[in-house]
C-alpha cells in the first residue's frame, strides 16, 4: 500500500495562482485484535504495520515482549491486524474497551499511556553510551538525508535508532508515537539491543515521546526541536539525556549532560 498520494491543488507562488499536484501523506486506520478481541484502532502510515503492532503491544504493557506473540496477521484490504498471543497482561477492564488513536495522538492515546507508565518511572536508565558533538551533528545530518517522505509531504514524523556512528533503523509515520513503536517492534523482532543506542526524533520531545524512549530502553534522545518542561523533568528523573535544537553547529543539552563529551 502506498504511503503517499498525489492530490490536485491550487498553489499561489510568485504573485499568481496555478494548478499543481501536491504529495500528501496517507492516513490508514489499523484495527488490532488480540486473541479475537478488538483492542484498538490506530490511525497510521501503512508501512511496517507488523513492527507497529509488536512495538505498540509491548510498549503499552499488553504483552511482555515478542515471545508472548505467536502470530501477527496484517490484512491490508480490511485494515485489520489479528494477533495471536500466548500471554496477555491483565489490566483495568475499562481499557479493554475499544480505543481510537488518531494520527494527532490526542486524548485517546492517554488512555494507554498513563495506565502502564507507573512502573516505568521507577526505572532509571543506566546506559554507558556517550556522544561527541561531531557525532551528534553527523548523525543528525544522516537522519535528515534519510527523511525523503517528510521533505515531500511535510506531514510525517521521523525517528531512528542509532549507534555512535550509524543509523541502524529508521521509521516514519503520521503519528509521532507510531514511528517509535515501529522502531521498537523491529528491534524486538530482530533481537537488537537498545540500551547502548540513541533515538533521533524529528519533532518536539514531549513527555509522551520521552516515556516511549524510556520504554524502548535508550538513554539518549536527539532532536532538532525542543523538549517540554515535563519531558525535561522526566528525563532528569529517569536519567535520560535529552538534546534539542540540533541545528548547524549548535545544540542544547537539557539533561544527562555527562553523556555528551565536551558539554
Active site residue 105: yes
CA proximity to 242, closest of 190, 198, 191, 186: 198
Give yes or no for a contact between 240 and 213, defined as CB atoms under 8 angstroms apart: yes
Sorted by sequence, the CB contacts under 8 Å of residue 43 that are 6+ apart come out as 27, 28, 29, 30, 100, 101, 102, 103, 174, 175
The catalytic position among 44, 105, 162, 187 is 105
Sorted by sequence, the CB contacts under 8 Å of residue 30 that are 6+ apart come out as 41, 42, 43, 44, 46, 49, 52, 53, 74, 79, 80, 81
Query: Quick one: angle between helices 176-190 and 49-59, nearest 10?
Result: 90
Strand partners, 200: 160, 222
CA proximity to 225, closest of 201, 208, 209, 241: 201
Distances (CA, A) of 94 to 42, 90, 98, 145, 237: 18, 11, 9, 43, 30
Rg (CA), the chain: 19
The catalytic residues are 105
Amino acid at each position: 500500500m502506498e504511503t503517499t498520494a498525489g492530490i490536485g491543488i491550487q498553489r499561489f507562488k510568485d504573485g499568481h495562482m496555478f494548478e499543481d499536484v501536491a504529495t500528501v501523506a496517507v492516513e490508514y486506520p489499523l484495527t488490532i485484535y488480540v486473541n479475537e478481541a478488538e483492542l484498538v484502532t490506530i490511525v497510521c502510515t501503512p508501512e511496517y504495520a507488523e513492527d507497529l503492532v509488536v512495538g505498540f503491544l509491548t510498549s503499552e504493557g499488553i504483552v511482555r515482549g515478542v515471545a508472548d506473540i505467536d502470530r501477527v496477521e496484517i490484512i491490508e484490504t480490511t485494515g485489520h491486524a489479528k494477533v495471536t498471543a500466548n500471554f496477555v497482561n491483565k489490566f483495568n477492564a475499562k481499557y479493554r474497551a475499544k480505543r481510537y488513536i488518531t494520527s494527532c495522538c490526542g486524548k485517546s492515546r492517554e488512555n494507554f499511556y498513563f495506565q502502564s507508565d507507573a512502573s516505568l518511572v521507577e526505572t532509571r536508565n543506566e546506559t554507558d553510551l556517550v556522544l561527541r558533538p561531531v557525532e551528534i551533528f553527523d548523525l543528525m545530518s544522516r537522519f535528515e538525508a534519510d527523511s525523503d517522505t517528510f521533505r515531500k509531504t511535510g506531514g510525517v514524523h521521523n525517528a531512528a535508532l542509532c549507534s555512535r556512528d550509524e543509523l541502524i533503523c529508521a521509521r516514519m509515520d503520521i503519528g509521532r508515537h507510531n514511528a517509535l513503536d515501529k522502531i521498537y517492534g523491529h528491534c524486538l523482532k530482530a533481537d537488537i539491543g537498545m540500551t547502548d543506542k540513541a533515538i533521533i526524533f524529528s519533532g518536539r520531545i514531549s513527555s509522551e515521546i520521552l516515556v516511549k524512549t524510556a520504554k524502548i530502553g535508550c538513554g539518549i534522545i536527539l532532536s532538532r526541536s525542543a523538549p517540554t518542561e515535563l519531558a525535561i523533568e522526566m528525563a532528569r528523573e529517569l536519567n535520560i539525556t535529552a538534546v534539542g535544537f540540533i541545528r548547524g553547529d549548535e545544540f542544547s543539552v537539557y539533561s544527562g549532560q555527562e553523556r555528551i563529551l565536551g558539554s
